[in-house]
Amino acid sequence: SESRALVVENLKTYRKLQPEVEGFNLKAIVLLSDEEPPAGLHTFQQVLTLGASRDLGNPDIRRDSPATIIYTSGTSGQPKGVVLSHGNLLYEIGAARTVLKPQPGDRVLSILPTWHSYERTFEYFILTCGCTQIYTNLKNLKKDLKTRQPQFMVAVPRLWESIYEAIQAQLREQPVAKQRLVRFFLAVGDRFIKARRVWQGLDLNNLEPSLGQKIGAALTAFLTWLPYRLGDRLVFRKIREATGGKLKYVVTGGGSIAEALEDFYELVGIELLGGYGLTETAPITHVRRPRRNLRGGDGQPFPLTETRIVDPETHRDLPPGQQGLVWIRGPQVMQGYYRNPEATGKVLNPEGWFNTGDLGWVSTQQDLVITGRAKDTIVLSNGENIEPQPLEDVCLASPFIDQIVLVGQDQKYLGALVVLNLPALVAAGLAAPEEPLAEVSARLQQDPQEIARLRQELDRAVKNRPGYRPDDQIKAIHLLAEPLNIENGLLTQTFKIRRNVVFERYQAEIRALYP
């Protein structure tokens, strides 16, 4: 990127990077921590003092001038430098105002890295609204939610999965009678919200219900409304209070949200607004609106943003409801990849259309629904195409599954690499409280009965999914000895699975699934 300055969090990070940057001819290295800087480094306060008397204006900067280079996460190959202009970022700030209306003084809790395009653009937006920005981390999240009581939050799906799992773990520790009462209210709430969706025309699997279906849904909603309100008073309100009790909206992106999570947060009264975008689009192109929060969808386009769904082979436009490649054109689309015209030409055509590489479809109301990543598609030996993400999402509804990666390219059937949820296994009596995950996984892997039970668990989840096909069935499972995380290189900084790295690391285990 030909950068001339480096900003590091602390001396530990600097010392780790020092051998790599010594030949870069950097003009400045800035230390964010309060540690005493060694010779040649500046503290952040020193930089502020130096800049206080400088004129920061630059008359040569235009809207199309480069503002930043952000490198992609590398989930599907080598990271590339995305060049975003001042105009790209200014457009995002203005477009966000058409979705959310934060008031001056509203509190916003942030947990994502500030360098991530999703977090960065959202911060620009909320600061222009006069909001109070509060930073937290996984260690302090639970405490900060309760004490800071944010009105808005931006996060990735993995965070909401972990909160959901923590709530489920707490529920399993309650007396049996209380568990039954809570599960009764959850079941009633589930019936109520699903009936309400049909009545409102917001059921992703039935976007145009008949009059009879609407009447039936209205009747179900009427009959379940009173117990649902009682459940809200006795149970759901306490869950909201655990998140501070003041949340208006949570914007979530950077991956799909499992259907079970969408249902849970809707019925407890926490409004998740899913969105879609990429680093190359600064990043947001679509987001669900409060007035049309279509669960399972990825939102309607920002103003001036165009969406095309095209055939992956011919690039012919496809009608609403038909799956194809998602192309985007709009003021937020990048200028290109830094010093990489070949890569730019592969995704950005002369008319300004950006090929996202994602598969999806649009409704007649312009709702975008992402179904998978073109490069992630698993093609079985019988020629059937399987999008792994939707199947993985429904499998994550099982309390025993913490993480899952589907495999099966060129094979007869699907297999899965599974990371078990240790607290759930302990609660079910399948693991001792102090037993390490590696030992539990190894022991259960050798128990055909337990593997069969786990397969049945996944079968139930997959078969209950709308549009189930026999080829969706998961017929082989390998239990991993360690979680997929950032530290072992199997997740990106925003908790996305680096599939190519997972496949390479576990190639022997994957081969063993297909004797």
Q: Is 412 left (phi over 0), alpha (psi -120 to 50) or beta?
A: alpha
Q: What are phi and psi of 358, to 5 degrees?
A: -100, 150
pLDDT value of position 268: 96
Strands (E), 22-97: 28-31, 42-43, 66-71, 81-85
| CA-wise closest residue to 115 among 258, 199, 13 | 13
As a residue count, the chain comes to 515
Please identify which residue in the block is written with the tokens 């259309």. Answer: 353
CATH architecture assigned to 377-512:
2-Layer Sandwich (3.30)
Least confident of 168-172, 231-235, 245-249, 346-350: 168-172
User: Above 70 in pLDDT, residue 77?
Assistant: no
Give me the chain's average pLDDT, please. 93
Q: Which CATH architecture best describes the domain 302-374?
A: Roll (2.30)
Q: Domain ranges in the chain?
A: 1-56, 302-374, 377-512
Average pLDDT over residues 86-102: 97
For the chain, the C-alpha Rg in angstroms (whole number) is 24
Q: How many CB atoms lie within 10 A of CB 66?
A: 14
Three-state DSSP at 454 gives: helix
Angle (nearest 5°) at CA 431 between 138 and 173: 60
pLDDT of residue 76: 56
Share of the chain above pLDDT 90, in %: 79
113: how many CB neighbours lie within 10 A of its CB? 11
Q: Write out pLDDT tens, residues 112-168.
A: 888 888 899 999 999 999 999 999 998 999 999 999 999 999 988 888 888 888 898
Count of beta carbons in the 10 Å neighbourhood of residue 27? 9
Task: Enter the tokens of residue 222.
Answer: 């009427």
| Residue 75 in this model has a pLDDT that exceeds 60 | no
Residue 497 confidence (pLDDT) above 80: yes
Mapped onto helix, strand or coil, the DSSP state of residue 477 is strand
118/73 Cα distance (integer angstroms): 12
Task: Identify whether the C-beta of residue 387 lies closer than 8 Å to the C-beta of residue 372.
Answer: yes
Name the least confident of 18-22, 73-77, 210-214, 454-458: 73-77
Query: For the packed helices 157-172 and 259-268, what is the interaxial angle rounded to 10 degrees?
Result: 70
214/466 Cα distance (integer angstroms)? 19
Q: What is the CA 96 to chain-centroid distance, rounded?
A: 18
Q: Is the pTM of this model over 0.85?
A: no
